[in-house]
Chains A and B, each alone.
Chain A
Amino acid sequence: MHLPRPFKNPNYMKNANRRTKNLKAVLAQERERERVERERRRLEKEENMDVDGEPGESTPDEEMPTYASIEAPPSVLPQRRYCDITGLEGPYTDPATGLRYHDKSVYELLKGLSATAAKDYLAARGVNPIVR
Chain B
Amino acid sequence: MAEQLHITRIHLPTLQTPPTPASYDKHRGQGTPLIIDNGSTTLRFGFCTSATPRCQPNTVSKYKERRTNKPLLLFGHGVDTESGAKSQAKTPWEGDVLLNFDALENALDYAFIQLGIDASSVEHPVLMTERLCSPLHSRGLTSELIFEQYSVPSLAYCVDSVMSFYHNNLPPSSVPFSSDGLVVSFNSASTSVVPIMQGKGLMSHAKRIPWGANQATDYLLKLIQLKYPTFPTRVTNTQSTWMLQNFCEFAIDYPTLLRTLKDPLRLRASERIIQFPFMVNAAEEKTEEELARIAERKREQGRMLQEIAAKSRMEKLLQKENDLQYMLNLRERRDEETKKEWENTLQEEGFENDGELDSAIKKLESDLKKARKKEADGGEPEDPEPPSFPLIDVPDADLDEDGLREKRKQRLMKAGYDARERAKREKEREREEREAEERREEEERDRDLTGWAGKLRKEQEAIMNKIKERNRRRAALTDRKSAAAQARMKSIANLAADDRVPKKRRKATGEDMFGADDADWAIYRKINTAAASSDEEEDLVTLQAVEQKLLQYDPSFTAEHTHASLSAQRSALLSAFRPQYEDGDIEGKTRLHLNVERWRVCEAWFSPSMAGIDSAGLGEVLQGALSRFSDQEKSRLVKNVFVTGGPSQFSGLLDRMYAALRPILPPEMPLEIVRAADPMTDAWKGMADFAKTDEFNRVSVTKEEYEEWGGERIKRWWGGNWNSSVLVD
- Which chain A residues numbered 59 to 115 have a C-beta less than 8 Å away from chain B? 62-67, 69-77, 79-80, 82, 85-89, 96, 102-106, 108-109, 111
B74 touches A1 (CB 8 A): yes
- Which chain B residues numbered 212 to 261 have a C-beta less than 8 Å away from chain A? 219, 222-223, 225-226, 229, 255, 258-259, 261
A21 touches B137 (CB 8 A): yes
B609 touches A105 (CB 8 A): no
Q: How far is the CA of A127 from the CA of B121 in the complex (A)?
A: 52
The chain B residue with its CB closest to the CB of A21 is B137
- Residues in A with CB closer than 8 Å to B75 are 1
B95 touches A80 (CB 8 A): no
**For chain A, what secondary structure do more than half of its interface residues adopt (helix, strand, loop), or is it mixed?**
loop
B222 touches A124 (CB 8 A): yes
The chain A residue with its CB closest to the CB of B149 is A12
A12 touches B148 (CB 8 A): yes
B509 contacts partner chain A, Cβ-Cβ < 8 Å: no
A49 contacts partner chain B, Cβ-Cβ < 8 Å: no
A88 touches B596 (CB 8 A): yes
Stretch of B107-115, B340-348, B378-386, B494-502 on the interface side = B107-115
* A15-B141, A74-B614, A124-B226 known; A67 vs B133 contact (CB < 8 Å): yes
Tally inter-chain residue pairs, CB-CB below 8 A.
Answer: 189
B596 touches A72 (CB 8 A): no
- Residues in B with CB closer than 8 Å to A3 are 21, 113
The chain A residue with its CB closest to the CB of B572 is A105
* A19-B101, A72-B616, A105-B571 known; A5 vs B151 contact (CB < 8 Å): no
B148 touches A126 (CB 8 A): no
- Residues in B with CB closer than 8 Å to A88 are 258, 261-262, 596
Stretch of A24-32, A39-47, A50-58 on the interface side = A24-32
The chain B residue with its CB closest to the CB of A108 is B571
- Residues in A with CB closer than 8 Å to B132 are 70
- Closest Cβ of chain A to B640, distance in Å, is 21
- Which chain B residues numbered 587 to 642 have a C-beta less than 8 Å away from chain A? 596-597, 600, 607-617, 620-621, 624
The contact of A121 among B134, B207, B219, B226, by CB within 8 Å, is: B226
A7 touches B223 (CB 8 A): no
- A109-132 CB contact bits vs B (8 Å, 1 = yes)? 101000001001101111100000
Q: How far is the CA of A67 from the CA of B712 in the complex (A)?
A: 14
B97 contacts partner chain A, Cβ-Cβ < 8 Å: yes
* A71-B210, A75-B615 known; A109 vs B574 contact (CB < 8 Å): yes
A27 touches B113 (CB 8 A): no
B615 touches A74 (CB 8 A): yes
B557 contacts partner chain A, Cβ-Cβ < 8 Å: no
A62 touches B204 (CB 8 A): yes
The chain B residue with its CB closest to the CB of A127 is B612
Q: How far is the CA of A88 from the CA of B266 in the complex (A)?
A: 13
Q: How far is the CA of A121 from the CA of B615 in the complex (A)?
A: 20
B99 contacts partner chain A, Cβ-Cβ < 8 Å: yes
- Which chain B residues numbered 115 to 156 have a C-beta less than 8 Å away from chain A? 117-122, 131-138, 141, 144, 148-151
The contact of A2 among B73, B97, B131, B192, by CB within 8 Å, is: B73
- Residues in B with CB closer than 8 Å to A2 are 72-73
- Closest Cβ of chain B to A95, distance in Å, is 11
The chain B residue with its CB closest to the CB of A77 is B620
- Closest Cβ of chain B to A9, distance in Å, is 5
B616 touches A76 (CB 8 A): yes
B367 contacts partner chain A, Cβ-Cβ < 8 Å: no
- Closest Cβ of chain B to A71, distance in Å, is 6
Q: Nearest 4 CB-CB pairs, A to B?
A: A126-B612, A105-B571, A87-B596, A62-B204
- Can you list 24 contacts pairing A with B, beta carbon distance less than 8 Å? A1-B113, A18-B101, A23-B97, A23-B99, A30-B136, A33-B136, A64-B204, A65-B133, A65-B203, A67-B131, A67-B723, A71-B208, A72-B208, A72-B621, A73-B615, A75-B615, A77-B616, A77-B617, A88-B258, A96-B479, A102-B573, A105-B574, A117-B229, A120-B226
